[in-house]
């Protein structure tokens, strides 16, 4: 059996825990012998694990999960260290990442639909970490915006990170990948374009960075430059593309951003969205997915 290393942050009895997925269970990381030296018993999300782990740690964890007996699993379920994934509430895997970097116009077909030229260097901006929400949480459409759009994006989760990371070392600096829906107040962004203003307001409203549902490790993804992205609203496919359509690949993105700032462990980088962005309305159910990672589901609601 191939064990795919998927990590989650989940809520149980009003407490949150970092966990790893095994079959239909989520297991608390703090209960696993291979992670005992990381002192994760008091952690309430995946940041401490990402910051303290390395390739050896994840290898030992995979070995433990692959060899764990049915009786040991039963004991963990009985003690509350493991539980059915269907019975817990998934949270954003990193509820407050150290930084949320994003790329604009990084798909060949997206820049033209916004009447922007294809960039010669990565177009980067940031979202506030406070904008992050998790699976099944509401995306609030603010009263001051007349149009709010969805944007599905493959998102890098930095591992050891660093400064001035060369392309050839980029993948070694990454822990894994997740999904981010880059919610955007499009009318505000277009006004800011015309006034040569930054994008922070149009991209940074509370709830404008849904993140999750899982983080999948770099080694499990394989080639991240050929994954399918899809966004579905109320059951209808709105966006569908592959990461090979990116203008700047993942090593180039990591090299560029780390050239001017240190990428800390747990920082996330949303790598851009493909064409066919569109407007959200009150009550819409949005499902953003990336192949091998999972579906990030949220509901859009008007600000009351």
Domains plus CATH for the chain? 6-91 (no CATH), 100-302 (3.90.850.10)
Give the pair of three-digit tokens for residue 176.
């894994």
Task: Say what the pLDDT of residue 3 is.
Answer: 46
Contact between 9 and 95 (Cβ < 8 Å): yes
Contact between 49 and 7 (Cβ < 8 Å): yes
Q: Torsion-angle region of residue 239: left (phi > 0), alpha (psi -120 to 50) or beta?
A: beta
Task: Say what the pLDDT of residue 129 is.
Answer: 98
φ, ψ dihedrals at 196, nearest 5°: 55, 40
Predicted structure pTM score: 0.95
Contact between 287 and 215 (Cβ < 8 Å): no
Contact between 299 and 139 (Cβ < 8 Å): yes
pLDDT tens-place values along the chain, 304 residues long: 344 689 999 999 889 999 999 999 999 999 999 999 999 988 999 999 999 998 899 889 999 999 999 999 999 999 999 999 999 999 999 999 999 999 999 998 777 776 777 889 999 999 999 999 999 999 999 999 999 999 999 999 999 999 999 999 999 999 999 999 999 999 999 999 888 888 899 999 999 999 999 999 988 898 999 999 999 999 999 999 999 999 999 999 999 999 999 999 999 999 999 999 999 999 999 999 999 999 999 999 999 9
Size of the chain in residues: 304
Q: How far apart are CA 32 and CA 64, in angstroms?
A: 8
φ, ψ dihedrals at 277, nearest 5°: -65, 160
In the chain, which ranges are E strands?
Answer: 6-12, 15-22, 25-28, 82-84, 89-91, 100-104, 123-127, 132-133, 138-141, 148-150, 152-158, 174-181, 184-185, 209-217, 228-233, 236-242, 268-270, 278-279, 285-290, 294-302
Single out the residue of 214, 271, 223, 263 nearest to residue 51, CA to CA.
263
């Amino acid at each position: 059996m191939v064990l795919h290393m998927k990590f989650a942050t989940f809520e149980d009895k009003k407490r949150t825990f970092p966990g790893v997925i095994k079959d239909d269970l989520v297991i608390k990381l703090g209960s696993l012998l291979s992670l005992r030296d990381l002192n994760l018993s008091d952690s309430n999300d995946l940041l401490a694990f990402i910051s303290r782990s390395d390739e050896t740690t994840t290898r030992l964890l995979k070995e433990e999960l692959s060899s764990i007996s049915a009786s040991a699993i039963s004991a963990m379920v009985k003690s509350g260290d493991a539980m059915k994934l269907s019975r817990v509430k998934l949270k954003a895997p990193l509820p407050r990442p150290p930084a949320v970097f994003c790329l604009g116009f990084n798909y060949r077909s997206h820049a033209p639909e916004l009447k922007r030229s294809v960039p010669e260097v990565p177009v980067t901006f940031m979202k506030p970490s406070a904008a992050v929400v998790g699976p099944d949480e509401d995306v609030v459409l603010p009263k001051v915006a007349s149009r709010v759009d969805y944007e599905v994006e493959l998102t890098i989760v930095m591992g050891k990170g660093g400064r001035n990371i060369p392309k050839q070392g980029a993948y070694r600096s990454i822990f894994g990948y997740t999904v981010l829906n880059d919610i955007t107040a499009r009318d505000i962004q277009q006004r800011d374009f015309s006034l040569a203003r930054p994008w922070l307001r149009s991209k940074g409203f509370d709830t404008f960075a849904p993140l999750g549902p899982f983080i999948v490790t770099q080694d499990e993804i394989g080639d991240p430059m050929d994954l399918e992205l899809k966004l579905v609203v109320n059951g209808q496919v709105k966006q569908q593309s592959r990461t090979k359509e990116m203008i700047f690949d993942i090593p180039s993105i990591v090299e560029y951003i780390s050239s001017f700032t240190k990428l800390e462990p747990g920082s996330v980088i949303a790598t851009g969205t493909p064409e066919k962005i569109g407007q959200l309305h009150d009550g819409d159910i949005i499902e953003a997915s990336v192949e091998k990672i999972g579906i990030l589901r949220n509901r859009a609601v008007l600000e009351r």
